[in-house]
Amino acid sequence: MKKLHYLFLWLGLVGCDVNEKDESSVNKINHHNGLAAEADFEYTSIEKIDNGFVFHRNPEDSSRQTDSITLELLKAYDISNTETRTIGAVTYQFHLDTFHGGSGGAEYTLRIWKPLDGSGVALEHYVQSEHDPDFAESWKLIESASVQFEKD
């Protein structure tokens, strides 16, 4: 079963650089734009997009519920009604939207902006669930995010 998991993981990561750290679920991801992060959580697939990645974490027990995390390197990111949270020396801007109802439960969208020199990392975690979501993994993901360019 573990080999099958790694096969699906590899198939979902074609076009991006992922290095396994060890036997745990931590994966270092690197985008050609320099975005780097550690994905220390389970996901069903990962999709490479122009500025980053989308982690699909759809629950197996319901086709009506969804869970995805988008991580992107951007020049700017507009979040309204923000709060701030400082972790280490970095101050993040964030906002949580909640929409109640729907056949899969309430919808939640957490938006986080991590400023970097001349740009930043944007994270958007969308969850539809009948239970309150835990966004700890999103915070760990954006905290690990950085810009790294390979030396020629």
Q: What is the CATH number of the domain that holds 121?
A: 2.60.120.1690
Q: Can you tell me the distance from the alpha carbon of 69 to that of 56, in angstroms, rounded to the nearest whole number?
A: 7
Sign of CA dihedral 41, 89, 122, 31: negative
Q: Can you tell me the distance from the alpha carbon of 116 to that of 131, in angstroms, rounded to the nearest whole number?
A: 33
Q: Can you tell me the distance from the alpha carbon of 30 to that of 123, in angstroms, rounded to the nearest whole number?
A: 15
- Strand-pairing partners, residue 38, are 28
Identify whether 29 is part of a domain: yes
Would you give the distance in Å from CA 37 to the centre of its chain?
9
Identify whether 118 is part of a domain: yes
Identify whether 152 is part of a domain: no
| pLDDT in the model for residue 131 | 85
pLDDT, tens digit (0-9, with 9 covering 90-100), for 105-152: 899 999 999 999 889 999 999 999 888 899 999 999 999 999 986 654
Identify whether 43 is part of a domain: yes
* Model confidence band, residue 60 (pLDDT cutoffs 50, 70, 90): low
Q: Can you tell me the distance from the alpha carbon of 113 to that of 109, in angstroms, rounded to the nearest whole number?
A: 13
The pTM is what?
Answer: 0.78
Edge-to-edge strands, sheet with 45-49: 45-49, 52-56, 66-74, 119-129, 106-116, 90-99, 83-87
What residues make up the domain containing 115?
2-147
| Domain total in the chain | 1
| pLDDT in the model for residue 64 | 63
Q: Are the beta carbons of 57 and 68 closer than 8 angstroms?
A: yes
